Structure 1
């Protein structure tokens, strides 16, 4: 019998991943977390499809025992800057494939830097969430021919936990992306773009603020696709979060000192519009390509919960043998059309369209 282990199963992302995996009927579920009571409650909701296990990612023995006997280990625990490749190594060493709802290029590089021999036979999929993840996967559906331009807008209003705030404060430097940059003619062009203030965008509520940030994920996508220019924006419903992040980076000091301000800024956004998150991608065909501009739009009321759906879908792809061995991001190894179709029918997606 197939056994799927889910770590961080009592969190916002993990609860949804467990629910979807149980609904998909992919196998027996082993749900792990530090608080056994919370994990047990999550398992109870699956009506017997999952078994709770107390586990701590910082305890190598407990982590090793959790992974033993699993065909796939799904990590929904964080923060990602601390987890990195820790769970991936334990899973692969136990003979299991691996799916991470978070993680980024740093985690992939950490695993590959001293790659365990088992990685030649096991798949390790990182960034199987909304961003990074869907933000690098879904635009591929629009790349049906040479493109003059690809624009991405991802954001909205969502509650930010303290751990997520730490991750946000640490996403600086070239390993994560370049603020105010665009991709033009095969290279990153720093300072090419300015923030867009008080603009209206399809799929976003009212007037919003779009801050240019060419993420490492989007730069890799631009290098892969036949596109002349790429612009990528993080969208906020107010200026509260950008100002909180800018103040923290200017001040320096321990990251933890600035967590309350980021959490409060997210609450201010929620008070302004209510919870929602939008992914909007627009393309302009290259001259002579003979195709019309296209648009992809996807909306959800909960970005974290939708990451759990993506992780569950990625797990199904891995179990189905549709992901090759090795470490890579979800955007580079999942089928964008298949994922979009699955998301279109999920109750956490309120709008999904390609025009």
Structure 2
């Protein structure tokens, strides 16, 4: 049995459909809206049934996890969930895959006793996730002199994803305006790029430097001399909405940030109205002198970043169930195989293009 939480959400629907299509086993779909969850279960090409469950109900969560081989969590806010569902899954003898969490969730889970033989994979979505996995394809032939990461576009935020975005601040998530240079974080070394044309992006964009912890790990793992990582927006509306909220509220609890979520959602809706929906991941590499020849650019385009995250969740679930990911607590960018993930994405109808050249 595969338990999937948040089944009717923006990510969960695609994850459920892809897991069912992969034939990984019967599904137990969990959500707060039992009617919508049951409708999804009836539409899947695999045995599935719906269960009403609330992540804030420990007994109900334990009952949901009981009997599952793996629990797949697409519910949020991801940075409020942290290791709560993972611990319930481990207690039930199940492995675990989560759309978010990052270092905060990984460290929370590993701060206590981790069930021996169990596997957990956090941040198995687009960003973080693919944003730290696909660039590894450019470092196959050796350490890079420089790696540039551009991720973003025009995506409509849901209220929960807006809260998640507002929660991604502080050293556990990244350093604004910083680059990675010669083995360390170099603060205040980059400036925003305004109205620049980048390959794959259909309109001029604004790129804001943000050296995520994922990008820092990527730099360490690949031996890159320099890494520049940018969040890309079609206008300054979202950066300004996020900055205004952070300036006004120092409390990082979700309940304190919730009143600002509507401002973020509305900014994304205005961008969508002006530019349509698109999502682009662009990674460019500059090899070190004398390095063997290899690819220098990875470009992925899609329309819906949430649905794309659902595809990644299904691929991560398959990797864990097949034994491709060893026991322990991992982040998806470090645990999944970049080449097989890219091959699966290239064949998925939700991916517009995926080129490695």
The TM-score bracket by the shorter chain reads: over 0.9
Equivalent in the alignment of 1:128 = 124
Q: Is the 8 A contact 1:137 1:330 kept in 2?
A: yes
Equivalent in the alignment of 2:108 = 110
How has the CA–CA distance of structure 1 residues 293 and 67 changed in structure 2, closer, same or farther, with 3 Å as cutoff? closer
Residues 141-187 of structure 1: CA deviation (Å, up to 9, x unaligned): 01021211000000001111111111111111111000000000000
Matched, 1:340 2:342: yes
Q: Is the 8 A contact 1:153 1:235 kept in 2?
A: yes
Residues 229-279 of structure 1: CA deviation (Å, up to 9, x unaligned): 000000000110011111112222632232221111101111121111111
- Quick check: 53-62 or 250-259, which moved more? 250-259
Distance (Å, rounded) in 2 between the aligned partners of 1:53 and 1:208: 43
Equivalent in the alignment of 2:318 = 316
Distance (Å, rounded) in 2 between the aligned partners of 1:275 and 1:99: 27
The CA deviation at 1:59 is: 0.9
Matched, 1:36 2:38: no
The CA deviation at 1:293 is: 6.3
- Output the aligned Cα RMSD: 1.1
The CA deviation at 1:288 is: 1.8
Equivalent in the alignment of 1:75 = 73
| SS state at 1:12 partner | coil
Residues 172-223 of structure 1: CA deviation (Å, up to 9, x unaligned): 1111000000000000000010000010001112110000000011111111
How has the CA–CA distance of structure 1 residues 221 and 47 changed in structure 2, closer, same or farther, with 3 Å as cutoff? closer
| SS state at 1:17 partner | helix
| SS state at 2:351 partner | coil
Unaligned 5+ segments in structure 2 are 251-255
The CA deviation at 1:49 is: 2.1
Equivalent in the alignment of 2:253 = none
The CA deviation at 1:291 is: 2.7
Distance (Å, rounded) in 2 between the aligned partners of 1:163 and 1:265: 15
- TM value normalised by structure 1: 0.97
Q: Is the 8 A contact 2:138 2:294 kept in 1?
A: no
Select 2:179's aligned residue among 179, 182, 207: 182
4+ runs of 1 displaced by more than 4 Å?
A: none
Pairing 1:221-232 to 2, within 5 Å after superposition: 221-232=218-229
Select 2:264's aligned residue among 262, 265, 270: 262
| SS state at 1:183 partner | strand
Equivalent in the alignment of 1:166 = 163
How has the CA–CA distance of structure 1 residues 112 and 194 changed in structure 2, closer, same or farther, with 3 Å as cutoff? same
Select 1:213's aligned residue among 200, 210, 213: 210
Q: Is the 8 A contact 1:284 1:293 kept in 2?
A: no
Distance (Å, rounded) in 2 between the aligned partners of 1:163 and 1:105: 19
Q: Is the 8 A contact 1:196 1:209 kept in 2?
A: yes
Equivalent in the alignment of 1:148 = 145
Equivalent in the alignment of 1:247 = 244
Distance (Å, rounded) in 2 between the aligned partners of 1:188 and 1:255: 28
- Equivalent pairs counted in the alignment come to 351
Distance (Å, rounded) in 2 between the aligned partners of 1:10 and 1:96: 22
- TM value normalised by structure 2: 0.96
Distance (Å, rounded) in 2 between the aligned partners of 1:154 and 1:217: 13
Distance (Å, rounded) in 1 between the aligned partners of 2:258 and 2:78: 15
Distance (Å, rounded) in 2 between the aligned partners of 1:245 and 1:100: 24
